[in-house]
Amino acid sequence: MTLQQLKYVITVAETGTITEAANKLYISQPSLTNAIHELEKEMNIVIFNRTNKGISLSREGNDFLGYARQVLEQAAILEDNSWKERIILS
């Protein structure tokens, strides 16, 4: 699992379509689909229900989405250098 895959899941969930998410992420639709399939396979869950009418979050996918957002928020905090200053000053 990568942070990039988590960003992909969040973007697909927010846009509601793989095509729109791929455009927003500046990647091809097949690349995005493959990345999500690989993540689902690795985690052994179905994140998105796929039908001929589109996609929707599965129950597991909805839970996963919440955790994905938390992980990305924590990663953003780690990338912010202000936490280093607090450690140095302690």
Closest CA to 4 of 40, 36, 29, 37: 36
Domain boundaries, the chain: 3-89
pTM: 0.85
Is residue 58 within 8 Å of 48, Cβ to Cβ? yes
At residue 6, the pLDDT reads 96
The angle at the Cα of 13, spanning 41 to 44, to the nearest 5 degrees, equals 15
DSSP class of 8 = H
- CATH number of the domain at 3-89, out of 1.20.950.20, 2.40.37.10, 3.40.50.1980, 1.10.10.10? 1.10.10.10
As a whole number of Å, the CA-based R_g of the chain is: 15
Q: What is the pLDDT of residues 60-82, one digit of tens each?
A: 999 999 999 999 999 988 888 66
